[in-house]
Amino acid sequence: MTKPIALAIKWVLIIATLAGILWIAAKLAAAGNVTAVVIAGLVGMGILAVYATRRAVPLKYLVPGLIFMALFQLFPVLYTANLSLTNYGDGHLNTKEQSISDIIAQSVREVPNTPRYKMSVATKEGDSVTTGDLVLLLTKPDGSTFVGDKTGLKPLDAAGVEKTPVGKITKAPGYSILNARQVNARKDLQSLAVPTSDGGGVKPVGLSEAFEGKSSVSYDAKADRLTDTSTQPPTVYEPRDARWVNTADASQSFPQGWKEGIGLSNYTRILTDDTIRSGFIKIFIWNVVFAVVSVLSTFLLGMLIALLFNDPRLRGKAIYRSLLILPYALPGFVTALVWKGMFNQDYGIINQTLGLSIDWLGTDFGAKAAILITNLWLGFPYMFIVCTGALQSIPQDVREAATIDGANAFRTLRSIIMPLLLVAVGPLLLASFAFNFNNFGLIYLLTKGGPFSGVDTSIGSSDLLITYAYRLAFSGTAPNYGFAAAVSVVIFLLVALMSIPGFRRTKALEEVN
């Protein structure tokens, strides 16, 4: 009885999944991404093959995980690696063709001493308002009326023409005037320019005005050159380093460049640029020190407090425990900002109460100390919680046995409690290390990576690799995603190398159990 129902549920789920994939594939096809459509199709066939048949039982369990791993782990890594081989960044976001059309379109200037027209957009009567050829019904400031289309400007017979007080034509025999929404729907209006005798064109501005403009830049496809005639003599621009550069003066170029592949240049820059290379090593060392010290300090403090509170003689434990969890319960972002205020050299509570004048956030050593202190405050309650939990699961009889065997308190701690505790919290320490290794929020809120030395303000003395990469990609001098992607790939490789021994160690801890 249950088998047909289970079978039905199975097929409903398979079909639902395939329908989902089909929907995604349709979206991807609409976006014109052929490779992605093919991959979606292969995934769909794979799902059908695995779940519709009785074979491949292990795969039935693994496929969802594999798909999500490919989607959220593998794809971003490959995408980043791919990006790191380009110059993608500010000024290099678009294609070369687009840079040409943008430069030409943006060089359009109003021809001096030409009138501003009042304008209505219309089609010939009988033509469709959505697809018919567009005409512009124009009124000069002197009241004379014209009709313009892509062939040119002709006078419009004033008979039967109705106008608003400012001169916008509202009715003209033989034409149907479009309303605001209809005009807006005509995307071809943007490229419409009514040619004029001097080589310019009458172009609309919004719904009711038109001006005579002329583009000063032209493109010669054969020579691959842009020529700007607004200067005397005309300036010629050639493509160089993904930009249009003046052939006569290389310091002049158009701001609109394009994206192109640049091979391994980003990686060679990391390896050969002296400030980046030395800075990278410096940041990496501090990054490891920060993560290790943060984990050890928070763990030691958390464990000591947990041991203290595990003593049955202590009263009011519930209250103390709740209070100690508070720093963890408060949003870390708020706490970090409060600590930033407390570390202020002149106005901060730390220097004021201790009578010190330490420049916490302005010196190399001070900033690092401030970060470690703040992270200790933020991190110890977590360690306290997990240690308390782990300690309570250690059976009392083991400790009693140790006492009977004559072990003192320290010996019991070292030989009995610690090994049992570490089995439980060891993996958590590794997780904490991984979290702190990329603890972006703390650094960013407390020091923004600073203080910065005079030589290069792109590398701060409290920067982690992640804040460094972020500054390169998003907030630095000129956002350069390609280079930031290359840095991210290097960070990924470093972290991957470092986690190998980590995972080995985790396995060793599990074998104790």
Q: What track of x and - describes contact with another protein for positions 197 through 236 (by CB under 8 A)?
A: ------xxxxxxx-x-x----------------x------
The secondary structure of 349-402 as a DSSP string is: HHHHHHT----TTTSHHHHHHHHHHHHHHHHHHHHHHHHHHHHHTS-HHHHHHH
Chain positions 373 to 412 lying near another protein, rule: CB under 8 A, are 382, 386
Q: Which stretch binds another protein (CB under 8 A): 61-69, 131-139, 252-260, 316-324?
A: 252-260
| 427 lies in the binding site for another protein (CB under 8 A) | yes
What is the SS3 assignment for 420?
helix
Q: Residue 308: CB partners within 8 Å, gap ≥ 6?
A: 314
Of 112, 107, 114, 110, nearest to 216 by C-alpha is: 107
Chain positions 180 to 199 lying near another protein, rule: CB under 8 A, are 180-181, 183-184, 186-187, 189-190
Q: Which stretch binds another protein (CB under 8 A): 43-51, 174-182, 278-286, 369-377?
A: 174-182
Nearest approach in angstroms of CB 84 to another protein is 16
Distance (Å, whole) CA 250 – CA 246: 5
Chain positions 42 to 71 lying near another protein, rule: CB under 8 A, are none
Q: Which stretch binds another protein (CB under 8 A): 22-30, 65-73, 128-136, 469-477?
A: 469-477
Residue 176 near residue 129, CB atoms below 8 Å = yes
Nearest approach in angstroms of CB 505 to another protein is 13
The residue count for the chain: 513
Q: Tell me which of 60, 109, 154, 411 binds another protein, using CB under 8 A.
A: 109
Strand-pairing partners, residue 169, are 163
| 456 lies in the binding site for another protein (CB under 8 A) | yes
Residue 105 near residue 215, CB atoms below 8 Å = yes
Contacts with another protein: how many residues (CB under 8 A)? 81
What phi and psi values does residue 294 have, to the nearest 5 degrees?
A: -60, -45
Q: Which stretch binds another protein (CB under 8 A): 155-163, 167-175, 249-257, 396-404?
A: 249-257
Which CA distances in Å does 476 have to 240, 259, 466, 479? Answer: 24, 19, 13, 6
Chain positions 276 to 335 lying near another protein, rule: CB under 8 A, are 328, 331-334
